[in-house]
Structure 1
Amino acid sequence: MIYYDAAIIGGGLAGCSAAFHLRQRGASVILLERGRCGAQASGVNFGGVRQQGRHPAELPIARRSRTIWTRLPELIGIDGEFRATGHLKLARSDADMANLEAYAETARPYGLVLELLDRAAIRQRYPYLGDGVIGGSLCAEDGQANPRLVAPAFARTARGLGADIREETEVVSAAREETGFRIRTAMGDVLQARRLLNLAGAWGAEVAGWFGDHVDEGVMAPNMCVTEPLPPFLGPALGVCGGDIYVRQVPHGSVVFGAGYGVADRDRVRARPLAEATAEGVRLAVAMIPRLADALLVRTWTGIEGKMTDGLPVLGPSQATPDLYHAFGFTGHGFQLGPAVGAIMSELALDGSTPTAIEGLSMTRFAAALPDRDAMST
């Protein structure tokens, strides 16, 4: 029986990045994914590569991840269609504008530069916006990428480096033994590893519970839509205070937008968009960008994402089990973080620590009954 330095449960972007970073450092690693790498939240999300609006507990990770996004071609051989188009967060009221101004001050110590735009400036620069927009905040170094490409590319590169990547392989149990972890799959395979990395997404809390790390994790299914290709006009990816609509235009011209939620069935591993959520998304998108009124909507979709009660992920070592590390519950905003989360998990597994600040993301925050925090997801 092969004894791995590390086993990873979950083949989303963070899990595939972890496999890649572990192999870069020479560790033997196996990744177990119940479906296909990047098939759930990592592959069906909006595709925003956004630092702006994140809770301060996430900003150190987001800042580190942004440097990795720039290096994708040298790391995994493709750019994942990453483009630093900017992320423009829109205000629709004076209260929204005040929130953007306050956030700019919060983000400044982290090195995040935000440009505040009043009504006149935003009208001059982005004349396609609807009348309800009164201002905004632009993060020029943020952008967008193709979520269908990035996780599989990390998996492919990790495999090329010698990682054992097993798709269509469901883990049914795992237990801590004297020399590490014994992992059983639905096909009857028994695997052993010195360390275990739980990156199981919406199933992360279930895996954590096998080891006495108990936390509530809900599910969500962001309702996504895409139009026919349109002449390029949009520029930055768009979000709004309140997070009820987000819009971007992809390189070939289609406009991707998301609003509301579909239906997620975690037990059956199935999700579907809802017509009523799509209709509301269309209304909000047209109010934001009136010229979209005549665009043809060609497809809607969704996927299953884990959701924490305070909107922040669980990230860090187990409090109950040595050599067990968790990263799950990204609540709809983990795509940008994924490359750095994988790097951080590899450091935790091999070094026992990481230079990136992850305070505030430990599972212990729930035991301490801390107040809920707004992750400002769009």
Structure 2
Amino acid sequence: MTADVIVIGGGLAGCATAYYLAADGVDVTLLERFDLNTLASGSNAGSLHAQIPHDPFVRLGETWAASYASTVGLLAKSIEIWRGLGDELGADLEVKLRGGLLVARTPYDMRAIERKARYEREQGLEIQLFDRADIAREAPYVSEEMIGGAFCPDEGKANPFAAAPAFARVARQRGVRIERQTAVLGIERTNQGYDVATSKGKFSARRVVNAAGSDAGRIAEMLGIDLADVQGFPIQVSATEKVGPLIPHLLYCASDKLTLKQNQVGSLLIGGGWEANIGPHGTPVANPESLSKNMGVALSVVPALRDIKVLRTWAAIVNGTEDWKPILGEIRKSPGFFVNFFPWMGFTAGPIAARIVANLVQGKPAPFDIDLTPFLPKT
């Protein structure tokens, strides 16, 4: 089977890339080895992040922050796309942008937050620094032990179970062929482009987009391309029983790993990047010690959680790189082979990363006058 473009990966990155290409009239085939949205794209907690993540800011320092800061601009632009995405796709994606609140437990935390805010504001992100009185007024559910924080009004959440399937549905309506249960076994460069050998036979295209998430490194290796930075990390998230309105924000804690928010049906989603285990069959499984620590942090920040039951905890592999920066664009030594890889914040960045790569595949400039220099593949 032949197409103009083959997209490898049926998560948010792949489905959105296929959608944008098809919207521009490109003939696309999407290959997914399992089913759509079954890995990281459908297993994350649905946070829409814009702030520089606090943990690597503290661990890696301000030199890293200066290098990473341009990524903030991509995240902010992606959130702007999220605002109208439900209407564009004709689906309720449950997008709620009530703001992200990073709280500080100690003066040390607060000083780090203030330093980080300078880099964020330089990228045009609105950041409001809160003192204890601001916390009490704007987030009365937060423990009195939290002395201040930073509030970003552009952050929030969406439904990870809805987003990729909505992109896929409209992409299919626009002519994209979606091949599920189709494992990529090998890729060969030809005079006409690329032949992709799969468990369902050979597919050919002039161009290929590698949107395979944590599997992107393995896919690239089929062409001798080293994406050494690409890694997969097992992490876990927990969901509580349904409760009345409690937490309107996307909540973080500067001194401990925590993300906390409430979804549309009333469940609280509690995470923060806590490590999961790899089970005997090679799949991620929950780590009881991480669960205990994660719940302890959450309870210390939101005391009302003491009376709320956790119903389930699940684990998934999240895409990551050491420098936290995306890889977006064409591999120089393999013309026509493109990478769409956005580590850690891939759910937030899914729409903008897909729009960028779809443009590049067609030889168009990046949208929104984005400078792609920091994000282009190094190989």
> Normalising to structure 1: TM-score of the pair?
0.91
> What is the alpha-carbon distance in structure 2 between the residues aligned to residue 94 and residue 211 of structure 1?
51
Where has structure 1 moved over 3 Å in runs of 4 or more?
A: none
> What is the alpha-carbon distance in structure 2 between the residues aligned to residue 312 and residue 258 of structure 1?
21
> Normalising to structure 2: TM-score of the pair?
0.90
Query: Could you tell me which amino acid in structure 2 is paired with residue 358 of structure 1?
Result: L
Correspondence 1:1-378 to 2 at 5 A: 2-53=1-52, 55-187=68-200, 189-216=201-228, 217-241=230-254, 244-259=257-272, 260-264=274-278, 270-328=283-341, 330=343, 332-351=344-363, 353-354=365-366, 355-364=369-378
Task: Name whichever structure is richer in helix by fraction.
Answer: 2
Contact 1:96 1:241 in 2 (8 A): yes
Structure 1 residue 90 displacement after superposition: 1.4
Structure 1 residue 270 displacement after superposition: 2.1
Query: Could you tell me which amino acid in structure 2 is paired with residue 176 of structure 1?
Result: R
Structure 1 residue 110 displacement after superposition: 2.6
Structure 1 residue 329 displacement after superposition: 5.5
> What is the alpha-carbon distance in structure 2 between the residues aligned to residue 353 and residue 273 of structure 1?
43
> What is the alpha-carbon distance in structure 2 between the residues aligned to residue 345 and residue 264 of structure 1?
32
Tell me the percent identity.
Answer: 30
> What is the alpha-carbon distance in structure 2 between the residues aligned to residue 60 and residue 77 of structure 1?
27
Query: Could you tell me which amino acid in structure 2 is paired with residue 9 of structure 1?
Result: I
Secondary structure of the structure 1 residue equivalent to 2:197: strand
Contact 2:52 2:72 in 1 (8 A): no
Secondary structure of the structure 2 residue equivalent to 1:67: helix
> What is the alpha-carbon distance in structure 2 between the residues aligned to residue 22 and residue 342 of structure 1?
9
How many residues were matched structurally? Answer: 361
Structure 1 residue 314 displacement after superposition: 2.0
> What is the alpha-carbon distance in structure 2 between the residues aligned to residue 329 and residue 210 of structure 1?
20
Structure 1 residue 212 displacement after superposition: 2.6
Contact 1:72 1:79 in 2 (8 A): no
Contact 2:253 2:301 in 1 (8 A): no
C-alpha distance after superposition, 1:86-116 (max 9, x if no partner): 1111122222222222222212233211111
RMSD between superposed Cα atoms in Å:
1.8
Secondary structure of the structure 1 residue equivalent to 2:162: helix
Structure 1 residue 79 displacement after superposition: 3.2
